[in-house]
């Protein structure tokens, strides 16, 4: 029998707001345990939540970009469950009237183009973190508690692990370009739950679904999907019964195990949060947010290609938002798109070792690196410095942000000699030091010219172009 895998995704994105969703505590990652905590986010009785409107703005930015219907009025609900990382014993979330419904995104791959539909996007708060340590001790850190999240819920439209990965990559790119989430999977800012079931090919009815929670890398997601779909097919084919449950994926062991039987919405006893009034979004505010939407990666790629950048290089530049910001800074200061693209895909990638983590660390916020590299691109394109000097100064500027390229170039004498005065001086000295070669040349030995040329090049250290040296040398030998 042929089986079809059916999957839906619930992605949690931690928003990069400075403060939490219902209080003024910092959302910064890490920190001493329980230092980013107040009575509100620690769930103390008698405290009241105050909604951080930036969260709404971020949700609307994502919703507009993904073509969702934006609710003019949305509400918060309490999702009740008890777990030690949730001191209130309920999570504030949205069930009945979420901020975004519908919409979706297109993924491209071996299947061609495919539209993945979204069910909804809602705002909610994160839970704290349990730290299991030696001696059977579990500690609680509430720093992460009440960090704002967007939960992006898809329809069950995925049929393969490759489609899931393509979707997550596209979603990550979108969140990064919108500047609403840093998407560091290793820090848990982007977490995916996969709901998976199998059914005989051609069957309409969905099978029993299993939820796999918080898998923390794209590679692990692909492995977990392969494992879980095979496990379900085995159970059915051997006459067993699947149960609806939540399973944890152990990437080290390469297997999943059951955590708990999966609760349905009714089990959470959702009800409207009486402490939070409905959120009303005015037309003017919606228009204002729409006007702040940045250019997205695929639009940038199209624009770069139209400006003469190859499709491959354009894709590598836009793969990281900070790299495309850097590229645009360089172009702005150099006025030279092609040379700027070559710099990014060549020397810059070499310096960053093409490593994703290193690339993500690159901070280009203040625009200074782009300005300096732009100046260098202009200098090399105008023939003011040669390629070797260019490479050297690019490396120096990268390694030390205190270096001003022009000052460095002047100090090191890397500027090309424009008038032939300096070249004449150098050539005169060479001719004086190599009288026998000069005589050889005048006696008709062409080889001697090459030798003298080499000496002059060496002496000028690449600061004069070979053309200038050649014409100066010829003129002085003949003259
Ligand atoms: Zn707080
Ligand atoms: Mn959630």
Whether 156 and 263 share a structural domain? yes
Q: Is residue 289 situated within a structural domain?
A: no
Distance from residue 100's CA to the centre of ligand 2 (Å): 14
* Chain mean pLDDT for the chain: 92
Ligand closest to Cα of 125 equals 2
Domain enclosing residue 54, as ranges: 3-284
215 and 150 in one domain?
yes
How far is ligand 2, taken at its centre, from the CA of residue 288, in Å? 28
60 CA to centre of ligand 1 in angstroms = 24
- Distance, CA 25 to ligand 1 centroid (Å)? 4
Q: 427 or 417, which is more confident? A: 427
Residue that finishes a domain, picked among 361, 391, 412? 412
Determine the distance separating the centroid of ligand 2 and the alpha carbon of 382, expressed in angstroms.
Answer: 55
Q: How many domains does the chain have?
A: 3
Residue 290 lies in a domain: no
- Single pTM value for the model: 0.80
How do residues 117-154 score in pLDDT, each as one tens digit? Answer: 999 999 999 999 999 888 899 999 999 999 999 999 99
Ligand 1 centre distance from Cα of residue 19 (Å): 8
| Domain end point (choices 284, 309, 325) | 284
Res 419: pLDDT: 62
Q: 394 with 465, same domain?
A: no
Calculate mean pLDDT across residues 263-269: 82
Whether residues 449 and 358 share a domain: the answer is no
Closest by CA position to 274, among listed 92, 58, 38: 92
Query: Same structural domain for residues 373 and 449?
Result: no
Domain end residue (candidates: 247, 262, 284): 284
Tens digits of per-residue pLDDT, 307-362? Answer: 999 999 999 899 888 999 999 999 999 999 999 999 999 999 998 886 777 787 88
* Among the bound ligands, the one closest to the CA of 79: 2
């Amino acid at each position: 029998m042929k089986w079809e895998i059916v999957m839906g995704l619930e992605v949690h994105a931690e928003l990069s707001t400075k403060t939490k969703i219902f209080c003024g505590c910092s959302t910064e990652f890490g920190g001493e345990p329980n230092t980013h905590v107040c009575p509100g986010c620690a769930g103390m009785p008698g405290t009241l939540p105050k909604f951080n409107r930036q969260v709404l703005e971020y949700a609307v930015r994502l919703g507009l970009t993904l073509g969702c219907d934006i609710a003019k009025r949305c509400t918060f609900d309490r999702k009740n469950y008890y777990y030690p990382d949730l001191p209130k014993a309920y999570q504030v979330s949205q069930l009945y009237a979420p901020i975004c419904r519908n919409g979706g995104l297109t993924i491209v791959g071996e299947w061609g183009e495919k539209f993945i539909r979204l069910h909804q996007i809602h705002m909610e708060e994160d839970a704290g973190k349990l730290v299991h340590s030696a001696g059977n001790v579990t500690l609680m850190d509430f720093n992460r508690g009440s960090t704002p999240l967007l939960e992006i819920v898809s329809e069950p439209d995925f049929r393969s692990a490759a489609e899931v990965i393509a979707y997550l990559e596209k979603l990550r790119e979108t969140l990064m370009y919108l500047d609403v989430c840093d998407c560091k999977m290793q820090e848990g800012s982007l977490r995916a739950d996969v709901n998976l079931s199998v059914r005989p090919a051609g069957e309409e009815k969905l099978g029993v679904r299993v939820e796999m929670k918080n898998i923390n890398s794209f590679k692990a997601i692909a492995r977990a999907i392969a494992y879980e779909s095979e496990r379900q097919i085995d159970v059915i084919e051997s006459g067993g019964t699947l149960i609806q449950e939540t399973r944890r994926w152990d990437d080290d062991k390469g297997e999943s195990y059951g955590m708990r039987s999966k609760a349905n919405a009714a089990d959470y006893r959702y009800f409207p949060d009486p402490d939070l009034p409905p959120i009303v979004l005015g037309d003017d505010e919606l228009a204002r947010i729409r006007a702040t939407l940045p250019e997205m990666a695929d639009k940038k790629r199209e624009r770069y290609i139209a400006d003469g950048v190859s499709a491959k290089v354009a894709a590598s530049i836009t793969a990281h938002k900070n790299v495309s910001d850097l590229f645009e800074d360089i172009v702005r200061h150099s006025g030279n798109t092609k040379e700027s693209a070559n710099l990014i895909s060549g020397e810059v990638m070499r310096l960053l070792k093409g490593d994703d983590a290193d690339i993500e660390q690159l901070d280009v916020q203040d625009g200074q690196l782009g300005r300096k590299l732009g100046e260098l691109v202009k200098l090399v394109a105008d023939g003011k410095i040669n390629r070797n000097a260019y490479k050297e100064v690019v490396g120096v500027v990268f390694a030390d942000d205190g270096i001003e390229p022009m000052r460095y170039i002047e100090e090191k004498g890397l500027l090309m000699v424009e008038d032939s005065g300096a070249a004449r001086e150098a050539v005169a000295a060479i001719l004086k030091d190599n009288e026998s070669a000069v005589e050889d040349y005048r006696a008709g030995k062409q080889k001697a010219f090459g030798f003298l040329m080499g000496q002059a090049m060496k002496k000028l250290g690449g600061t004069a172009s070979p053309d200038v040296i050649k014409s100066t040398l010829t003129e002085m030998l003949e003259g």
